[in-house]
Amino acid sequence: MTVGLVVVSHSARIAEGVVELAAQMAPSVTIAAAGGTDDGGIGTSFDRIQAALAEAESGDGVVVLCDLGSAVLTAETALELAEAPERIRIADAPIVEGAVAAAVAAESGDGLDAVVAAAEARQAEAAPPQAGDEPAGEAQRLELVLENEHGLHARPAAELVRTASGFDAAVTVEGVDAKSMLRVLALGLDRGSRVVFEATGPDARDALAAIEALARNRFGE
């Protein structure tokens, strides 16, 4: 099971589009759309949000992404009336970027708090976390050239984040947290870019070896 996601928008098409995009990064995560009114108009629907929450809940919790303030208010009402409101969190995050980042975190097996943090990109204001309780030791370094036609766009970036998240190591790419989808995308790395990865912690060497193998495979593309 994984943390589920609900995308709430005033437009059914926007909600469905965000779900389609995020699902490309997280095929095993349940992501439900709750867009538009009950009659297909522009607005939000309590009933649609309530149904989406039930669809996305697997027992590990649900993170909700909203487009505008009134969508948040409707989502909060649905949350208050939910059977287990403590397992539902409304992220203070942009709906597209937040949904993609949250989906990648959920796909990696992160818990509810970590998925919310990924959506809100709280880690962007802090240094990358150290792995475990052991001394970090000397940083391991990997330098490579991106061969992907479009560089580290959303899908290969998601593969990188998933790979880095699978190791007990603090991993950076060009100095930013390689386990943060939003920070990786913000680098805007294009084809031909020379990229430096560094890792510290018990699995540092293994993490960089996995990333090197991933790059040889063009990040799954």
Whether residues 16 and 115 fall in one domain: yes
Amino acid at position 175, single letter:
G
What pLDDT shows up at residue 78?
A: 94
Whether residues 84 and 165 fall in one domain: no
Whether residues 110 and 133 fall in one domain: no
Whether residues 14 and 34 fall in one domain: yes
Whether residues 73 and 168 fall in one domain: no
Write out the residue range of the structural domain in which residue 113 sits. Answer: 4-120
Whether residues 56 and 11 fall in one domain: yes
- What are the catalytic residues? 10
Whether residues 42 and 113 fall in one domain: yes
Whether residues 92 and 194 fall in one domain: no
What pLDDT shows up at residue 65?
A: 97
Q: DSSP for 73-87?
A: HHHHHHHHTSS-GGG
* Extended strands (E) in 23-69: 31-35, 62-66
Whether residues 62 and 32 fall in one domain: yes
The number of beta carbons lying within 10 Å of the beta carbon of residue 11 is: 15
Looking at the whole model, is its pTM more than 0.75?
A: no
Alpha-carbon span 64 to 92, nearest angstrom: 9
Any idea what the CATH number is for the domain that residue 193 is in?
3.30.1340.10
Alpha-carbon span 152 to 215, nearest angstrom: 10
Amino acid at position 24, single letter:
Q
Whether residues 207 and 139 fall in one domain: yes
8 Å CB contact between 74 and 9: no
Q: How far apart are the first and last CA of the chain?
A: 26
Of 57, 90, 120, the domain-final residue: 120
Which residues in the chain land under pLDDT 50?
A: 123-135
8 Å CB contact between 91 and 98: yes
Whether residues 20 and 54 fall in one domain: yes
Whether residues 114 and 214 fall in one domain: no
8 Å CB contact between 5 and 85: no
- Domain total in the chain: 2
Of 73, 97, 120, the domain-final residue: 120
Any idea what the CATH number is for the domain that residue 82 is in?
3.40.50.510
Of 71, 102, 120, the domain-final residue: 120
Residue 49 Cα distances to 67, 72, 173, 219, angstroms: 13, 11, 37, 35
Tokens encoding 13: 């098409």
